[in-house]
Amino acid sequence: MSLEAAREREWAAEPTGAPAAAGGRRTAWARRAAGHVLPAAAGPALALAAWEAWVRLDHVKPYLVPAPSRVAERLYADPWFFFAEGLKTLEGAALGFAAGASIAVLLAAVMSQARFLERSIFPLAILVKVTPIVAIAPLLTIWFGFGLMPKVFIAALIVFFPIMVNALIGFRSVNPNALALFESLAAGRAEVFFRLRLPSSLPYLFAAFRFSVPLSVIGAVVAEWFSGDRGLGSVIYIANNNLDMATAFAGIFTLALLGVALFLVTTAAERKVLFWHESNWDVR
């Protein structure tokens, strides 16, 4: 056997290491995923099991509290119905969140430039915050009719205040040394805002977004109760009136899934945008 042939046989017998490394990465990823998913799923699974046992052992009337298995049957029987109604609720919540967040950030930017503007605008914002949404909802139905507009308006109202407050804090929580550097370079107000204040406010904004996105869904549902428009809120309201608890709980479960999904999407977006922030340095 020639020397070249012997070397070729040795190289063929040696493992490359790449498949092993790829397999190790997949195993580590699966281990991390299991570490996140299993603890998160254990609590709800135990709660559902206890709920099922309580309903069956105590013989609770189905028109009072249905068993989780009955709710699952209702969802399985007509999943596209709840999906379509959930999209209607999501539409109002998303548009309301976009409108409320845009107005809140704009007003916070204005207030961050002058204290007297804050003293003029902030009392009105507090007035909006302390006014009960349930008291406004019937009026909005009268003013705007039955449709999308009341949902958008209430969702915008409910997310407006927390986003505005966090944005204002973020715009003012800048590094003093960085601000002094910008001033020494004779930077204008617009340049200071867009290159320093706005990036510094992003952690505060995303913290408010995580809290406010589920609130926008609540606002849309409240509007659907009063407006009678399509959506999960209307489904739950009608089912309660008809003592159809399986449908009502199926709607509530769909709402919970919608809220969790929106929260996870917001969290993922925060990690992508704020990869440089220390809050995301050790996320496992």
Q: What would the DSSP string read from start to end of 14-33?
A: S--SHHHHHHHHHHHHHHHH
**Helix, coil or strand: residue 61:** coil
Res. 279 pLDDT band, cuts 50 70 90 = low
| pLDDT per position as a tens digit, 186-220 | 778 888 888 888 888 889 999 999 989 999 999 99
**C-alpha neighbours within 13 Å on the C-beta side of residue 137:** 20
pLDDT band at 11 (very low <50, low <70, confident <90, very high): very low
Task: Give me the residue spans of the domains in the chain.
Answer: 17-57, 77-280
Under a CB-based contact definition with an 8 Å cutoff, are residues 231 and 224 in contact? yes
Helices and strands (DSSP H and E) totals, the chain = 12, 0
The residue assigned the tokens 């709660």 is: 47
Helix (H) or strand (E) holding 56: helix 18-57
Above 60 in pLDDT, residue 13?
no
Tell me the C-alpha distance between 42 and 118, whole Å.
Answer: 47
Q: What is the pLDDT of residues 66-106, one digit of tens each?
A: 888 899 999 999 999 999 999 999 999 999 999 999 999 99
3-state secondary structure 155-205: HHHHHHHHHHHHHHHHHHCCCHHHHHHHHHCCCCHHHHHHHHHHHHHHHHH
Q: Could you tell me the pTM of the whole model?
A: 0.79
Pick the CATH number of 77-280 from 1.20.1530.20, 2.40.50.140, 3.40.50.300, 1.10.3720.10: 1.10.3720.10
Range of weakest confidence among 9-18, 193-202, 260-269: 9-18
Q: How far is CA 55 from CA 39, 71, 241, 248, in A?
A: 25, 12, 21, 16
